[in-house]
Amino acid sequence: MKYERITINPNQMAGVLCIRGLRIPVATIIEMLAQGMTREQILAAYPDLTFDDITEALQFAAETLREREMPLVEAS
């Protein structure tokens, strides 16, 4: 999948993945969702974001986890 809304700029936010060149990190959006915020609450907190920005952040997070080996401890 090609991500059109996720950008990286080494001269902005120390190269952190952001949404559309804004200073809104993808990780911040994912963290807000994980903390129980709704999309509507996130959009209210960051008026420059769109519903599609949040959707793409989630899709990117899922794809990233699918593509990497994670050093997890096996549950016993």
Alpha helical stretches, state H, the chain = 26-34, 39-45, 51-67
The reported pLDDT for the residue numbered 21 is 94
Q: Which residues of the chain have pLDDT under 70?
A: 1, 68-76
- Domains of the chain with CATH codes: 6-65 (1.10.10.10)
pTM assigned to the model: 0.85
Neighbours of 6 (CB within 10 A): 17
The reported pLDDT for the residue numbered 2 is 87
Q: Is 61 exposed, middle or buried (0-12, 13-18, 19+ CB in 10 A)?
A: middle
The reported pLDDT for the residue numbered 72 is 52
The reported pLDDT for the residue numbered 68 is 65
pLDDT (tens digit per residue) in 32-52: 999 999 999 999 999 999 999
4 token code pair: 């059109």
Angle CA 70–22–52, to nearest 5? 70
